[in-house]
Each structure stands twice: as structure tokens, then as C-alpha cells.
Amino acid sequence: MAEKRRIEKVVMADYASGIVRESDYVYFITYSGIDVAGFSDFRNKLVDVGVDCKVMKNSFIGLGLGNSDIELPDGFALTGDTAVVFGQGDPCPPAKVINDFGKTHECISFKAAVVDGSLVSAQQAQAVADLPSKEVLQAQLLGIMLAPAQNLLNLLNQSVAQFVGVIKAYQDKLEGQS
């Protein structure tokens, strides 16, 4: 019986390691005090944005983080009830769901996160929730990059228009002299 429990622990630790290694982001959240219906509603909102949510023991999460390439601060440990929210792609939408749900259910909040292969604090995870989506950021960056080209084009168009105006005035002057 003891051997069976040991194998289950190894499998769960490997599963947690896989989540950390294969996901673009992992949010560790607290959910103490929420009822089953509320947590089910929370999971459904996460599914709507295409992410998974699993409740895991802190020891397995710690083993998963320890087996990854993520640098952990000395004495790092998760305590209390912990759910793991993870997925691929843009880390902002799930962070926004966690943040928004946490506003109406105070028992849901960030503990820590792994974003782009680095462990970040609850405050930094909260900052991710406050960012615009990846598409909005890309559009803003594109606008900033295109602004100088647009300004140059406007300047050239103005110069051409002024040059054409000068030629037209000269033509009118010559026609007036004849």
C-alpha cells in the first residue's frame, strides 16, 4: 500500500512539472472560502477563455516548480488552498478573469505566477491582469512604429502640393503676361 501511494506522488509531481514546463503561463491562486457552485462558475469563466484550472496540493506544485528550470527564491513555498490556472498563448485574458472574479469573490486572489519562464509575485501577476490584451499592445506598437513614416509621407505630400502651387502660380503669371 505504501508503494502505491509513493507511485501516485511521483505521478502527480511529474504532472505538476509538465504543467509548469509546457504552459506559457501558470497562475497560482487562493480560493479559500468559495462554495462549490462559485468555484464551478469560476472554472467555467476560465474555460471560456481557453485555459485549465486544477486544484493541487502545494507539495506537488513545489515539486513541479523544483523540477523545472525556474529559479525560485529562497524559502519560497505556497500555503493554504491552491488552484493552478494554466494555458498557452496570451497570459492577459485568464489574469483578467481571475482579477474580475476576485473583485466579486474576495476569496479568489493571486498567490504567484510563472510567466515567460519566470516566477513572479502576486503583485506582478496582478499587473499582468491590468495590461491590455496582446492584440491591443501589438496594435499600439504598430501605430508607434508607423507614425514616423506617416509623418514623412504627410511632409512629402505637403511639399509636393506646395511645389505644384508654386508652378501653378508661375504658370498663371506667365499666362497673365501674354
pLDDT of the residue at 178: 66
Q: Which residue has the cell 499600439?
A: 140
* Domain edges within the chain: 2-131, 132-178
CA angle, residues 53, 55, 61, in degrees to nearest 5: 100
pLDDT of the residue at 140: 80
Query: What residues does 115 pair with on adjacent strands?
Result: 25, 118
Mutual orientation of helices 92-104 and 36-48 as an angle, nearest 10°? 150
pLDDT of the residue at 134: 75
Cα separation, 85 vs 74, whole angstroms: 24
How far the first Cα of the chain sits from its last, in Å, is 113
Nearest to 129 by CA among 158, 152, 108: 108
Q: pLDDT (tens digit, 9 = 90+) per residue, 12-65?
A: 888 988 898 899 999 999 998 899 999 999 999 999 999 999 999 988 888 888
For residue 135, what is its C-alpha cell?
492584440
Q: In what order do the strands lie in the sheet with 52-55?
A: 52-55, 83-87, 25-30, 109-115, 118-121
Amino acid letter, 44: N
pTM above 0.85, yes or no: no
- For the chain, what is the mean pLDDT? 84
CATH superfamily placement of domain 2-131: Ribosomal protein L10, N-terminal RNA-binding domain (3.30.70.1730)
Q: pLDDT (tens digit, 9 = 90+) per residue, 116-173?
A: 888 888 898 888 888 877 778 788 888 788 777 777 677 777 776 777 777 787 778 7
For residue 144, what is its C-alpha cell?
508607434
CB atoms within 10 A of CB 18: 13
pLDDT of the residue at 49: 92
Structure letter (DSSP) for residue 108: -
